Structures are given as structure tokens and as C-alpha cells.
Amino acid sequence: MLISCIVGAVALVAGLLIGYIIRKTVGEKTIGSAEQVAKNMILDAETRAKAVKKEMVVEAKEEAHHIKAEADKDARERRAEIQKSEKRLIQKEESLDRKIDNLEKKEDIFSKKEQKLRDKEKELETYAAKQIEELERVSGYTAEEAKQILLSDIEKEIRVEASVMIKEIESKAKEEADKKAKEIITGAIQRCAADHVAESTVSVVPLPNDEMKGRIIGREGRNIRAIETQTGVDLIIDDTPEAVIISGFDPVKREIARLVLEKLIIDGRIHPARIEEVVGKAKREVANIIKEEGEQATFEVGVHNLHQELVKLLGRLKYRTSYGQNVLKHSIEVANLAGLMAGELGLDPKLAKRAGLLHDIGKALDHEVEGTHVDIGIDLLRKYREPENVISAMAAHHGDYEAKSMEAVLLAAADALSAARPGARREMLETYIKRLHKLEDIANTTKGVERSYAIQAGREIRIIAKPDEIGDEEIVFLAREISKKIESELEYPGQIKVNVIRETRAIDYAK
């Protein structure tokens, strides 16, 4: 058993030794073969690299040769162009040199001619001076005196001719302008068809009997105080039979007070609590009427997209009068007239109507806000974002601001036309007489006027000129001067005709 184990162990060791020797021998052979293959591959790669390198060098040389050839070609072409340009420049330079030479020659010629002209000018001046001296000696006048006489004669002739020409031009222009204006205004008035008599605001409330006065006053005056406090007006209860007078600057408050009195008189229950209730109802009723009237006015004129506050202010004008003329009706009439005339003249009727309807909007608040109704209206329209052309047209309707458009001029004309037509307004006699006196004073204080007469209710002033101070050719200038003074110093509706008369009489007696 032991021997077997020993033999087995020896055999195992021998086998391991033999295997190691065989493996080592086979590995060395394999490694040697791989090294040889690697060497062959390296040599092959080097050979190929040399071939590729050689090919690339050849291609690079060919490319460089091609580039050089192209560059040489471009250089030759550029040299040719440069030579051509140099040749043209040389030719131009030679041409300029020739022209300069010619100019220098001409300059010399002109210099000589200029010198000759100067010499002749001096000779002429000397000759003219001698002639003037001779003329002065013969005529007995100096040159300055003769010039003044000549200018005076020419001025007289020109003034006469200018006067005749002005008369002809003005006559022709007035005829054409009057004819066209009459056609436009007549057509506008006919198509407008407005009321010829404007209504006035009611300020007197009739009573069924005089006993009602005591009930309105109430015990110790409590009823009348309640009415005045809540409506903001004054009630005048005097000896006027069966009537109560309402006094107040605000036309809307007067209307509220009128409605309150009428409702209380009909109802018969008059005491402070009832008065407060009726005043509230009257205010709501008037507010509704104002809104409806404003909307009706915009609908009637065809003006849309107005701010609701402006519509309400238009409605307030129903209770506002100017010289007895209802302002809302006046505004509607002005809008229609301005729109019709603008349409006839090819202007913007919508702008003219909008500005015409809003031109007196400031009168709705002129009892509450300081300033003229024009300035108040400008602030209102800007507050409610009306277009600037509407604001400028509205602002110019009384001449306070410059008219910046033809629509503004038409608006001023329509306003004057609506206010000046017969029956539209009532003017106090005292104011009317003062205006006539002022008109005559303006004419009488003008140089060359002997006397003047205001006729046709102030629509015309007839002026008698002094014949010894004013010539026939100067009456045109006198009429124009007086017209300008009237325009700048006097306020009046419509227009005033200035008629200047010059008369010379020669009287003798046969004995």
C-alpha cells in the first residue's frame, strides 16, 4: 500500500514536470511566431505610409502650382486694369490742364473787360452828375426835392387807382360772396325748420285762490322755509293775485320748486314732512326729464357716443334761457344750421353738428362754476374726453379763441344766425340804446368824420365825411378804418354795414 502511494506520488510529480516542459516549449514557439507577424505588419504599414505620404506631397505640389498659376493670372489682370486706370487718369489730367489754361485765358479776357466797364461806369457817373447839376440849375429844384415831388405825384395816382381797384374788387367779391352765402344760409334755414319763437322758463306758479298763499306759508312760516331750504330757491308771496313767484339763479332748482308747488297745491296736504317727500319725487322726475331731453336732443341732431354726463348737462339746458331764448333749442338749431352749411361747403357735417350741439354746454353750470360759459365748456369737454377739433371749434364760437378750422367759422356763423333772427331773443331797451350810442361815438371820434347816424336798429351806420379833409379816393380807407374799430370795440349780433358818404356842394347867388 505504501509502495503504491509512493509510486503514485512519483508518477504525479513526473507528469507535472513533463506537462510544464511541454507547455513552456509550445508557448515559446507561439510567442516567436506572433512577434514575427507583428514585425511584418509594421513593415507593411511603414511601406504604405511612405506611399501615401509621397502621393500627398505630389498632390500638394500640384495644388500649389495651380494656386500660383491663378494668382499670377489675377495679378496680370489687376496690373492691366491699373494700367488702364492710370492711362485714363493721365488723359483726364491732360484734359483738366487744357481746361485750366482756357479758363485762365478767359479770366484774363474778363478782367480786361471788367476794367473797361469800370472805366465806362466812372465816365457815366461823371456825366450823370453833370446832367443832374444842369437839371437842378435849370429846374431850380435839388435832386431830393424833385424825388419827393415825383413820389408824391406817384403816390396820389396809386392811391386813386388803388381806391378804384379796391372798390371794384370788394364790390365783385361781396356780390359773389353774398350770393353764395345767401344760397347756403337760406337753404340751411329752410331745411332746418326750427321754431321761430323760443319758450321761456316758467317762474310764476298760479294759485287757485289767495287762501292757498297762507297754507304755503304755514304756521309761523314753517312750510315756506321748508320749501326754500329743500329746493334752494326763494318764494316771493306778495300782493300779486293768485300767484307765487319763484326766484333763483339755478334754472333746474326753479323747475323743481315749480313742480313741488304744483303737486302740493293739487294734493292739498302742505306740511314739512309732505314737502320733503314731494321734493324728493320732484327731483327724481326732473332728473328723468333732463336725461330724456338730453337723449332726445342727441337723437334729433344725430350726434352719438356722447358721455352720459354730457347728455345730462344738455338736458339741463332745457331750463336755461339766454335773452329769453331757450338754450337747448338754440343748441339744436345751431347744430343743424352748422351741419347743413358744412355739408353744402364739402366740410365735415358730423364735426360741425357735434361742436354746435355742445357749444353752450358751459351754460348748464355757469351758475355753479366760476368763469365764462366758453371756458367752463372747454373744461367739461376735456374732462369727458371729447376730440380736440370739437373743443377748438366750440371754443371759437364767440371769438374768445382763434378759429382753427372752417367748421369753427361755420359754428360761429350759425350761432350768430340763430341768436340774431327776429323773435329769437329779447334785448333790454337800455342795452340796445347804449349800443347805438357807442356805435355812433366810434364813428364820430374818427378823423375826417363830420357826423354819423345809426340806422336800421343798429345794423347800419351812415357816416358823413368832411369833404375838405377826405377825398373821394380816401373814403374807402375811412370805411375800412371804422369797420375795424367797430369789430374791436363793440359786441353785436350779425354784422353792421358801414356806409360813408362824401358830398361837396357849391352855392352861388345870381344878383
Radius of gyration (C-alpha) of the chain in whole angstroms: 56
pLDDT at 252: 80
C-alpha cell at 448: 375826417
C-alpha cell at 197: 319763437
Q: Which residues contact 497 (CB under 8 A, 6 or more apart)?
A: 456, 459, 460, 461
User: How many C-beta atoms surround the C-beta of residue 135 within 10 A?
Assistant: 14
**Length of the chain (residues):** 511
pLDDT at 448: 87
Q: What is the DSSP string of 149-190?
A: HHHHHHHHHHHHHHHHHHHHHHHHHHHHHHHHHHHHHHHHHH
Distance CA(417)–CA(406), nearest Å, equals: 16
Number of H helices, E strands in the chain: 14, 8
Q: Please tell me which residue, 132 or 299, carries the higher pLDDT value.
A: 299
Which of 69-83, 124-138, 353-367, 397-411 has the least mean pLDDT?
Answer: 124-138
Q: What is the mean pLDDT of residues 380-387?
A: 90
Q: Do 135 and 142 touch, CB atoms closer than 8 A? A: no
Top mean-pLDDT range of 18-27, 61-70, 415-424, 432-441: 61-70
Give kind and range of the element (H or E) at residue 235: strand 234-236
C-alpha cell at 149: 415831388
* Average pLDDT for the chain: 80
CATH architecture of 429-502: 2-Layer Sandwich (3.30)
End-to-end CA distance of the chain: 213
Indicate whether 106 pLDDT > 80. Answer: yes
pLDDT digits (tens, 9 = 90+) for 179-205: 666 566 655 554 554 444 334 444 677
Q: Residue ranges of the domains in the chain? A: 13-138, 204-420, 429-502
Indicate whether 55 pLDDT > 80. Answer: yes
Q: What is the mean pLDDT of residues 266-285?
A: 85
Q: Is-above-0.85 flag for pTM?
A: no
Distance CA(203)–CA(226), nearest Å, equals: 19
Q: Please tell me which residue, 280 or 195, carries the higher pLDDT value.
A: 280
Q: What is the mean pLDDT of residues 62-91?
A: 88
Give kind and range of the element (H or E) at residue 460: strand 460-465
Which amino acid, 495? Q
pLDDT at 45: 82
Indicate whether 91 pLDDT > 70. Answer: yes
**Buried residues in 459-494 as b, exposed as e (16+ CB within 10 A):** eebbbbbeeeebeebbbbbbbebbbeebeeeeeebe
Which of 10-19, 69-78, 397-406 has the least mean pLDDT?
Answer: 10-19
| DSSP code for 115 | H
Longest dimension (CA), the chain: 213
Tell me the CATH class for 204-420: mainly alpha
| DSSP code for 371 | S
Place of cell 516542459: 21
pLDDT at 19: 67
Distance CA(336)–CA(354), nearest Å, equals: 10
Distance CA(443)–CA(463), nearest Å, equals: 7
Q: Please tell me which residue, 135 or 448, carries the higher pLDDT value.
A: 448
Backbone angles phi, psi at 236, to 5 degrees: -105, 110
pLDDT digits (tens, 9 = 90+) for 467-508: 888 888 888 888 889 988 888 888 765 578 888 888 877 777
Indicate whether 22 pLDDT > 70. Answer: no
Q: Do 304 and 348 touch, CB atoms closer than 8 A? A: no
